[in-house]
Amino acid sequence: MSLNRVLSVGAEFPAFSKKAVVSLEKDQEFRTITEQEHRENDQWLVMFWWPKDFTFVCPTEIAEFNKNYDEFRDRDAQLIGASTDSEFVHVAWRRDHEDLRGLRFPMLADTSKSLAEDLGILSEEEKVAYRVTYIVDPQGIIRWVSVNDLNVGRNVAEVLRVLDALQTDELCPCNWKKGEATLTA
């Protein structure tokens, strides 16, 4: 039985400084990313984790987040994908997989697994990250977390719906969608 203690709503997102793949252009592939970037730019952070590169479910999710990249940008959200694979594995996977070549967001490499450990999202057996999505406000506070088991992909439309709801800073009823009325207390 797993004893994970997933960092959750109301907690401050952990500090990190990690290499990420940001391009396939020679000598432009890598950049260091920190948790401070979204705060300094007064942006929300949406960070989603997948278990392993070169697998089957993961690229479907990554490609769907990429298709919706402008939706996140329009909501002043920095989008970051992450796993515990190295930046070199990330760049090789991007070059190898047609759906990943044109990614517009960074692929964070948590090779030390320190951030995944701080977040409490490592599977007990393989020590790979679960399919976890965090929405973090511009002050660095976790406002939403969703955890899927290793074999079940997530719904990007739901991530956007929740981001919209959080950004209203109002009471949003069940199944609320952007543009619908919110509740008054």
pLDDT for residue 157: 95
- Which residues are catalytic, by number? 58
Quickly count helices (H) and strands (E) in the chain.
6, 7
CA neighbor of 60 nearest in space, from 156, 160, 158, 127: 156
Backbone angles phi, psi at 164, to 5 degrees: -60, -45
Q: Is-above-0.85 flag for pTM?
A: yes
Burial of 113 (0-12, 13-18, 19+ CB in 10 A): middle
> What is the chain's pLDDT, residue by residue, as a tens digit (185 residues)?
446 689 999 999 999 999 999 988 999 999 999 999 999 999 999 999 999 988 888 888 999 999 999 999 999 999 999 999 999 998 998 899 888 889 999 999 999 999 999 999 999 888 999 999 999 999 999 999 999 988 888 999 999 999 999 999 999 989 999 989 999 76
pLDDT for residue 3: 62
Cβ–Cβ < 8 Å for 142, 10:
yes
Cβ–Cβ < 8 Å for 112, 26:
no
pLDDT for residue 1: 45
pLDDT for residue 5: 87
pLDDT for residue 185: 65
- CA atoms of 105 and 103, how far apart (whole Å): 6
- CA atoms of 8 and 169, how far apart (whole Å): 19
- CA atoms of 81 and 97, how far apart (whole Å): 16
- CA atoms of 110 and 87, how far apart (whole Å): 8
Q: Where are the domains of the chain?
A: 11-168
Cβ–Cβ < 8 Å for 109, 18:
yes
* Number of Cβ atoms within 10 Å of the Cβ of 90: 25
Cβ–Cβ < 8 Å for 113, 100:
no
Strand runs labelled E in 29-183 = 30-34, 44-49, 77-83, 107-109, 131-136, 142-148
pLDDT for residue 124: 86
Task: Write out pLDDT tens, residues 72-126.
Answer: 999 999 999 999 999 999 899 889 988 888 999 999 999 999 999 999 999 988 8
Correct CATH for 11-168 of 3.40.50.2300, 3.40.630.30, 3.40.30.10, 1.20.120.450: 3.40.30.10
For the record, the structure tokens of 30 come out as: 């890598």
